[in-house]
Structure 1
Amino acid sequence: MASIQLGLIGLGKMGGNMRERLRKAGITVVGYDRDPTRSDVDSLVELVDRLESPRTVWVMVPAGEATHSVIDQLSALLKPGDIVVDGGNSRWTDDEKHAKLLHARGIGFVDAGVSGGVWGLQNGYALMVGGDKEHIQWLEPIFDALKPEGPYGFVHAGRVGAGHFAKMVHNGIEYAIMQAYAEGWELLEKVDFVDNVREVFRSWQDGTVIRSWLLDLAVNALDEDEHLEKLRGYAEDSGEGRWTVQAAIDNAVPMPAVAAALFARFSSRQEDSPQMKMVAALRNQFGGHAVELERPEAGKTAKTAEKAG
């Protein structure tokens, strides 16, 4: 049987690790990135030429214009029977447009919500996908290589758009959980009779109903900076929180926890927020997202993608 091949566009924090995990599983990956030090080829044309037909190309670039541009270029380069997978954090409303564009040329389209952050190489990636059943079946060896070992971590969520919609809701829930941990942490830090907040968090890691991977990552962050004094209380929102709240409004679904967590992110941009120190630390732990470090001696902050420790 011929080796399974995949073209992978976008070799950043997640894309680069996905290429490594796929190769370890025996899948031939031809990667392209605008950064030539990461790329296996010099252009999208060369990437397509290196793949045997029918081709599968997985796009891992930022949502919005970057994804639109890449899919538009692929629509002219690929042939009928090929498949494009959008594994970025695209808004689900864009998926139907991309599917329609590619379908007109006989090219399949699958949207894949991917979760796992910088830990995906080691632990595997949770995959939520949308598209036609025959396309999902064709891609199954790739999904199997990327997902965690065991029965969980993959779902064919529905038709085109369902994968990104499911990932959007996942991220909205993530907002709310992180916010709850952050609020609890701030209250514990505030009172003078709790002497060891870090160890309180650590004690919750086993035997409690609120134990989770995010809690484990919170403890990691506190081990690196016990009172999060090196961080500024500022946290970005990546877009999915806003989209989740908007979808809730459009469908008359009450989501007060997710909405409040989103608005708390906005409040972090008005002044230094203790809660947002924890949210920023958690985002850095699971996704390698940039954090802003306090630099009291200069009266300024510095942004870094490194784990603050």
Structure 2
Amino acid sequence: MGANMARRLVAGGHRVVTYDLDATAVATSTENGSEGVTSLEELVSCLPSPRAVWMMLPIGQPTEDTIAALAPLLSPGDILLDGGNANYKDSIRRAREMSGRGIEYIDVGISGGIWGLAHGFCLMVGGPADAVKRMEPAFRTLAPAEDVGYCHFGPSGAGHYVKMVHNGVEYALMQSYAEGFELLAAKEEFDLDLAAVAETWSHGSVVRSWLLELTAAALKDDPGLESLQAFVEDSGEGRWTVQESVDLAVPIPAITAALQQRFRSRQDGPLGARLLAALRQQFGGHAVRRSGD
């Protein structure tokens, strides 16, 4: 569990025991009021039954390995929560596997980033109703308020499915802002203050959002964003969202285009763009720019 989540839970009166392969992460968490341990075995032994163990791990093998190590240590009636950005299909499978051991599995899609400590986290939950009910005090403590920002959406996998689509929407929103502000900057004769535009749009505009507030902050700190490279990673959830749209035959062109743009941002002189230049020269004799020009 991240230090900010642990701190918010401790502040809400919950007992939190933390473990991480990185001792520095454990130390940071204990500075915020949790109890630190040095192994999964110690973690499990410190918790009274029925236990609730909350994982916040990178997707894929790190999560698989941790579950494999934890499962034999847990007892029937314990709850295992996955707050990482797991593929919902993996969550369904893991819930089935844990059910065979009598362990309740809850998938928790979490949004809020580094600002969650101050503003609360948005929690999208899937899993057995009785287990979710047992964890509600913690969920409501982590949420922005007692009655908002948390919802149990359905059976195992539902929470991570909702979070997957959430991240796909996030891709498209970010891409729209990026394109809009690039167009604003291109109108050089107006010499627009982009930070001022973002700040103005953040109040009363139909396109106002927290992402727009972050846009204003980024542009205020670095108006031309010259300290950054145009290289944008993807977490994987955008890919899953697009794949799901193919599987369900539901068109999501804006999200798909946003994902493709992230791929393009990582390429230097991509073959496709060079081929376009070559074809224009071939059929029309158009001028091209040669490497090294």
TM-score, scaled to structure 2: 0.86
Please name the residue that 1:30 is paired with.
Answer: 17
Q: Which amino acid aligns with 2:96?
A: K
Q: Which amino acid aligns with 2:66?
A: V
The ranges of structure 1 where at least 4 consecutive aligned residues each deviate by more than 2 angstroms after the TM superposition are none
1:135-171 CA-partner distances (Å, limit 9, x unpaired): 1100011101110015320111111000000000000
Matched, 1:98 2:94: yes
Q: Verify the 8 A CA contact 1:86 1:111 in the aligned structure 2.
A: yes
Please name the residue that 1:219 is paired with.
Answer: 216
1:6-52 CA-partner distances (Å, limit 9, x unpaired): xx4xxxxxx11111111011100000000113321110000000000
Q: Verify the 8 A CA contact 1:32 1:44 in the aligned structure 2.
A: yes
1:48-103 CA-partner distances (Å, limit 9, x unpaired): 00000000000001011111111111110000010000110000010122112211
Q: How many Å separate the matches in 1 of 2:127 and 2:214?
A: 33
Equivalent position to 1:162, from 153, 158, 179: 158
Which of the pair is proportionally richer in strand? 1
Q: Verify the 8 A CA contact 1:95 1:111 in the aligned structure 2.
A: yes
Tell me how far 1:129 sits from its aligned partner: 0.4
1:259-304 CA-partner distances (Å, limit 9, x unpaired): 00000001101149xxxxxxxxxxxxxxxxxxxxxxxxxxxxxxxx
Tell me how far 1:203 sits from its aligned partner: 1.3
Q: How many Å separate the matches in 2 of 1:44 and 1:150?
A: 31
Q: Which amino acid aligns with 1:194?
A: F
Please name the residue that 1:252 is paired with.
Answer: 249
Q: Which amino acid aligns with 2:151?
A: V
Q: Verify the 8 A CA contact 2:81 2:107 in the aligned structure 1.
A: yes
Q: Which amino acid aligns with 1:20?
A: R
Q: How many Å separate the matches in 2 of 1:123 and 1:34?
A: 28
Question: Does 1 or 2 have the higher relative contact order (CA < 8 Å, sep 6+)?
Answer: 1
1:162-188 CA-partner distances (Å, limit 9, x unpaired): 000000000000000000000001111
Q: How many Å separate the matches in 2 of 1:207 and 1:96?
A: 41
Equivalent position to 1:122, from 106, 110, 118: 118
Please name the residue that 1:151 is paired with.
Answer: 147
Equivalent position to 1:172, from 165, 168, 188: 168
Deviates further, 242-251 or 35-44:
35-44
What are the equivalent positions in structure 2 for 1:37-116 lying under 5 Å apart?
Answer: 37-39=24-26, 40-116=36-112
Which of the pair is proportionally richer in helix? 2
Equivalent position to 1:183, from 173, 179, 186: 179
Q: Which amino acid aligns with 2:219?
A: L
Q: How many Å separate the matches in 1 of 2:229 and 2:25?
A: 32
1:229-263 CA-partner distances (Å, limit 9, x unpaired): 11111110000000000001000000000000000
Please name the residue that 1:265 is paired with.
Answer: 262
Please name the residue that 2:7 is paired with.
Answer: 20
Identity %: 51
Unaligned 5+ segments in structure 2 are 27-35, 270-293
Of structures 1 and 2, the larger Rg is shown by 2
3-state SS of the aligned residue for 2:203? coil
Q: How many Å separate the matches in 1 of 2:25 and 2:187?
A: 49
Q: How many Å separate the matches in 1 of 2:136 and 2:187?
A: 52
3-state SS of the aligned residue for 1:90? coil
Q: How many Å separate the matches in 1 of 2:92 and 2:158?
A: 10
Please name the residue that 1:201 is paired with.
Answer: 198
Q: Verify the 8 A CA contact 1:91 1:164 in the aligned structure 2.
A: yes
Unaligned 5+ segments in structure 1 are 1-7, 9-14, 273-309
Q: How many Å separate the matches in 2 of 1:23 and 1:245?
A: 38
Please name the residue that 1:290 is paired with.
Answer: none
3-state SS of the aligned residue for 2:230? coil
| Root-mean-square deviation over aligned CA pairs | 1.1
Tell me how far 1:198 sits from its aligned partner: 2.2
Please name the residue that 2:291 is paired with.
Answer: none
Equivalent position to 1:228, from 204, 225, 228: 225
Q: Verify the 8 A CA contact 2:195 2:217 in the aligned structure 1.
A: no
